[in-house]
Every structure is written in C-alpha cells, then in structure tokens.
Amino acid sequence: MGGGDWQYTLYGYMRGALTPSSGVRLALTPLRLGSLLYRGMASTSSTWELRKRRRLPCPVVSIGNLTVGGTGKTPLTIWLARWLRQQGWRVAVLSRGYGGSRRDEPCVVSTGEGPLHTWSEVGDEPYLLAQELPGIPILVGKDRFASGQHARQHFGAQVVILDDGFQHYRLARDLDIVLIDATNPFGQGALLPRGILREPLRALQRADAVVLTRVELAQDAIGDVTEQIRGWAPHLPIYHLRTTVQAVWEEDMHVCRDAASLCSRRVVAFAGIGNPEAFAATLTQLGYDVAALVVFPDHHPYTERDGHAIIDVLRRYEADCLVTTTKDRVRLPPSWQASAPLFTIRIEVAFSEDGHPFQQQLQALMTYANDRE
C-alpha cells in the first residue's frame, strides 16, 4: 500500500474487498446510519433536480455508473467520442471536472488541440480526455446545460457526451448508459458512506443500457451480475466491454513498446485509481511478474516523497521497473524522476458481442435525432 493506507483500507471495506472483523463492524455502525441519511437526501435531491431538468437542442449521451470508484468511464468515453466522430458527427465532451481548482464555468479544457490548462486546474480525467481526443472539445463545469450550450455555440457540437452523468438529473439525455464493473459490481450492496453505491439498484430502471466492464477478469461472475440487473430491469440491453492493453509507453526513452515486452521483467505497479486491484489483475493476465502493488487514493496528486516511497518498494522486492496507468501518469509532477524505468500502460476497450449491437443502438439514436431536427 501507499501513502493513503487508511483511506484505502476503509474503501476496501466499503467495496467488500476486505472482510471486517467484529470490532471493525462495530466501528462501521455510524457509516450504516450515514447510509440511511444519504438515501433520504439523495431521493429528495433527485426529485428536486428532475423538476428543473432542461434539454439541449442536440442528442445527449450520458456515461455514468451506480458506484463510486473506477468502472471504466474514461476509456468508454474515449471510445464513444472517437466512434461518433468517425460517423461524421461533431462531438463535445462535458465533464464535471472533479478535483479541478478552476471555478470559471464553463471552462474549456481543450478546443480539440490538446489541454489548455494543467490537470490540477481541470481534473485528471478531463485533462486525459483532452490528450486522447484530438479534434474534440472538452469542457468542464457543474452546470452541464451551460457547458452544452457553449459547445453548441462555439464549436458547433451536434452531439454531446455527458461524462459521469447518471446522477446529473438537471440535464435531459437521449441515451443513459450505466457502467458496472464486473469484478466488483455493487460492493456490499450498501449506499454511501457504508458502501460504494451512489443510488439503490432500482435506479437501473432509469437506464437505457448497461455496459459490464472488465469482463475478461470476471467470466465466472457475469451470470450472477446479469441476474441481479435483470431483477430490476428485465428488458435492459446489457453489453460486455473488455479491456485490452494497446501498448506500454517508456517514459525515459519516449517510445512505445509492445505490451508483451515486459513479460520477462519483475515490476512494481502503482496506482491512485478507483479499482487498483483490477489494474494489477490486468498486468498479471498479461503475464507480468507483479512483485507489489502500491496503492494511493483515487485522484491522488503525486509528490517527490511518493516517488521515493515507490522506489523503496521497488528495491525491497528487487524489481527492475515501475508500471502505472495513463491517469496516474498525468498526476506525476514534472520534477518527479524515478531511479528506475517507468512504463505507462495504454489501454483500449472493445465490445465482446458479435454484430456490434451497441453501435446499432447508438446509430438508431442518431438517426432518430437527425429525423427529429
């Protein structure tokens, strides 16, 4: 573990990844009471926000989830934005900009030519989107309707993607996609702060489609997860999304290597993301010899001290290189230099179904939207 040991341990109990002792269960009692309070507040808030819902004059596709932590929203947002652009649509991505320091709204992270601000100003995920999506404007702000209007007026957006938008009730959407991590779909099934659910499972009835992510790591669990989903939304389309490693980027040499090039090396992985275990499992599935996983809190801003701690782990386990994620890489300070090779894993996602039914659902939406205009 890393500098956020206690936060990670608490999060492990919330996700169901760690089994609490009887003493820990007693200590978690206030969190159970907090979950009841959260349920009431969330219900009141959603009812109020839905009354003030506004609609943009263009299709809105929301990518969201029911839980806190990583379900793979950013990779799917990248996939979806590229696909829509390939179909000839002018696309913009709207994000809340979690963790960013800028307060002007809407804030244009990118006009389509790379980031205009630092990750600490706009958030690590919008910054990464700006790096990965040339030709596509990225905007952040709490008022997504205002961001959407700005994207329409200044960039001619014909369709907008609402990143992490399932709980953003104020903006009407034409397609609500909910991502569920197949490796840990609902944690313990409890609401925040006792568990990781943002909403009860019945909220799936609002969705237009469910995408099960990281299915390659949870083949045995997919049937049970599907049954739980069907219990709340019997006719909801369910798609399977697998994660693939495209390449590894060697920071010291500034070159891309084949993903299999590290199979013969002993590595230490580090990550400050929502599901670090899934990252380690992906590396193991590739055949990497993962000596240790150093975990930091999600969205953690790395310091030189963190770098020294990671190197200490590398030496302790006699590994010869470090591996991290693209999301973590953007949060490393410019002065951060490891005394060992650093590799960044570049991932892609792909749907498992033959016949591309997810694309067909998207195409039907865009055809309807075009006819509506």
What is the model's pLDDT at position 16? 56
What is the model's pLDDT at position 246? 85
At the topology level, CATH places domain 60-243+350-372 in: Rossmann fold (3.40.50)
The domain locations on the chain are 60-243+350-372, 244-348
What is the model's pLDDT at position 28? 53
* Distance in angstroms (rounded) separating the CA atoms of residues 350 and 46: 33
Query: Residue 68 CB: number of other CB atoms within 10 A?
Result: 18
What is this structure's pTM? 0.87
Of 198, 187, 193, the C-alpha closest to 32 is 193
Q: Which CATH class is domain 244-348?
A: alpha beta
* Helices 357-372 and 73-86, axial angle in degrees (round to 10): 60
What is the model's pLDDT at position 70? 86
Write the secondary structure of 313-361 as one string of H (helix), E (strand) and C (coil).
Answer: HHHHCCCCEEEEEHHHHCCCCCCCCCCCCEEEEEEEEEECCCCCHHHHH
pLDDT per residue, tens digit, the chain (373 aa), is 444 454 444 455 555 555 555 555 555 556 555 554 545 555 545 554 556 789 999 999 999 999 988 899 999 999 999 999 999 999 999 998 888 898 888 999 999 999 999 999 999 999 999 999 999 999 999 999 999 999 999 999 999 999 999 999 899 999 999 999 999 999 888 888 778 899 999 999 999 999 999 999 999 999 999 999 999 999 999 999 999 998 899 876 578 889 999 998 999 999 999 899 999 999 999 999 999 999 999 999 999 999 999 999 999 999 999 999 999 999 998 878 778 899 999 999 999 876 589 999 999 988 877 666 6
Q: Which residues of 307-322 are buried (b: 16+ CB within 10 A; e: fewer)?
A: bebbeebbeeeebebb
Which residues have a Cβ under 8 Å from the Cβ of 54 and sit 6 or more positions away?
Answer: 145, 170, 171, 172
Q: Residue 348 is encoded by which pair of tokens?
A: 């892609």
